[in-house]
Structure 1
Amino acid sequence: MPPGLVIALAGVLGLLVGSFLNVVVHRVPAGLSVVSPPSACPGCSHEVRHRDNVPVVSWLLLRGRCRDCSVRIPARYPLVEAGTGAAFAVTAWRFDDPVVLVAALVVVGAGIGLALIDLEHQRLPFAITRVATILVVLVVVAGAATGSAIDWTAVAVSVACWTGLYALLHYGSGGRAMGLGDVALAPVLGLVLGLVGWPAAVVGLFAGFVLGAVVLVPLRATGRIGRRAAVPHGPFMLAGAALGLFVGVPLSQAYLTTIGLS
């Protein structure tokens, strides 16, 4: 299949996944089913028509309002859809190995939903992490069964490092330094980054802490965030993993070249 077509199809898939993520972000934290009942307007409770459920396009045609009661539909919905579509397209552009591509798409989709939930509710639901982990494991197993080249050493070391560090931070601090949701998310991030290679895994692992420090230290120093205020680490963790996934290898190569080791 031509690369351009793969990228386009991935972008369309991302739009559809983004539409579903809007449901997930709203319902999962509330303990509601993501499949029933069908989506409805919060203002008039009228079920959303199929033609009004086309990602991005429907929101634009409706001018951001419900067809029945004209209540405003938050711009976050089309932004999540468009953002997920763009993220999927970039992922398809970056990776041509089928196993890495599919595994990365799973993590990218789940990661967007988890980041949004963590920012709003300060939690990473196990339900999403569990599904993402199962899907990635199935992708890797299927890839191995069909003869895909997988560096099992890199995968094992990456999973062990990601899981071990987050588990140590959680249990070593009695849960104060890191939440259990972060610990549950670490293995699947380590698995996918391990598929790309150990440089991606290392960059992704430490980039999350660096990004957190860059953002939070100035905010705490200026008093905009209290020193004891709880701040979700999930978005930084996921952003760091994304950096490792997409640019971890070239970043590590540039660093090694700079210090004369490559």
Structure 2
Amino acid sequence: MTAFVVIVSAAFGLAIGSFLNVVIWRVPRGESVVSPPSHCPRCDHPIRQRDNIPVLSWLLLRGRCRDCSNPISPRYPLVELATAVLFAVVALRFGADWQLPAYLYLAAITVALTMIDIDVRRLPDAIVLPSYAVALVLLLLPAVLDNRWDDLLRAVLGGAALFAGYFLLIFIKPGAMGFGDVKLAGVLGIYLGWLSWGVLLLGAFAGFLLGGVYGIVLMLAGRAGRKSKIPYGPFMLAGAMVAVLVGERLVEAYRGMIGI
């Protein structure tokens, strides 16, 4: 059963990844993700349905527009593949469980927000703010069906706690990060808090750790200084996903080491 869920989730991830390419390009520009249909930015010709198959179409077209031969960035199939892989890993983690849709949504916004923050150094409210409602609605499903009301309460408190923690950080040290990071922290706190307080702490720590290591590597390579700003959203998202996927095992291992 788990293998079937993983395969279906991966296939679904390919399709979602294709849509995320549209989201990544249009949302930062304030454009609709529904209309107009996808088209070549050079010749403006609409993309045919047969040329809109994730990954495969790019390979068959050899990375070029069918009508004007304009190169198509390999980033498009890579986003589709990354989404499929992330969906498969999340499905492997949760299996056929009512939690799965909520964490597949987290995987989708992880890909979209990571790419957008890298591109434009911004985490759009159009994605982040609705994610509060989406997360709570999707987690309400297992809360109702599996009687996990305590977990849902902890998710709400976790979201509030992580939001408050990040808000305190920018209050103490203005300019250290953007308010978009604070708003994203609340969303991630909901997902991490649902799993456990330990997972929430691990996810927050992992984000800081990954961002710090990246900053140190850039400084050692001479590509950044102490005051250089880097997009922090991708590291928050990566840390959260690490905690979601393996956090419970790491927390249990840590407790075993210290004898709790």
Identity %: 45
Once superposed, what is the RMSD of the aligned Cα atoms? Answer: 1.6
Task: Look up the match of 1:88.
Answer: 87
Task: Look up the match of 1:52.
Answer: 51
After superposition, what is the alpha-carbon deviation per residue over 1:202-240, rounded to whole angstroms, capped at 9, x for unaligned? Answer: 110111001111111242255320322221110111111
TM-score under structure 1 normalisation?
0.93
TM-score under structure 2 normalisation?
0.94
- Asked if 2 retains the 8 angstrom alpha-carbon contact of 1:100 and 1:195, the reply is no
Task: Look up the match of 1:177.
Answer: 176
Task: Look up the match of 1:165.
Answer: 165
1:117-136 equivalences under 5 Å are 117-136=116-135
Q: Distance in 1 between matches of 2:44 and 2:59?
A: 21
Task: Look up the match of 2:198.
Answer: 199
Task: Look up the match of 1:12.
Answer: 11
Q: Residue 100 and residue 193 in structure 1: after superposition, are their counterparts in 2 closer, same or farther (change >3 A)?
A: farther
Structure 1 residue 159 displacement after superposition: 1.9
- Asked if 1 retains the 8 angstrom alpha-carbon contact of 2:5 and 2:96, the reply is no
Q: Distance in 2 between matches of 1:20 and 1:188?
A: 21
What letter is aligned with 1:161?
Answer: A
Greater shift in the superposed pair: 223-232 or 119-128: 223-232
- Asked if 1 retains the 8 angstrom alpha-carbon contact of 2:159 and 2:190, the reply is yes
Structure 1 residue 155 displacement after superposition: 2.2
What letter is aligned with 2:158?
Answer: S
- Asked if 2 retains the 8 angstrom alpha-carbon contact of 1:44 and 1:69, the reply is yes
Q: Distance in 1 between matches of 2:171 and 2:7?
A: 44
Greater shift in the superposed pair: 5-14 or 93-102: 93-102
Task: Look up the match of 2:105.
Answer: 106
Q: Distance in 2 between matches of 1:128 and 1:157?
A: 21
Q: Distance in 2 between matches of 1:25 and 1:66?
A: 20
Structure 2, unaligned runs of 5 or more:
none
Task: Look up the match of 2:259.
Answer: 261
Q: Distance in 2 between matches of 1:65 and 1:90?
A: 31
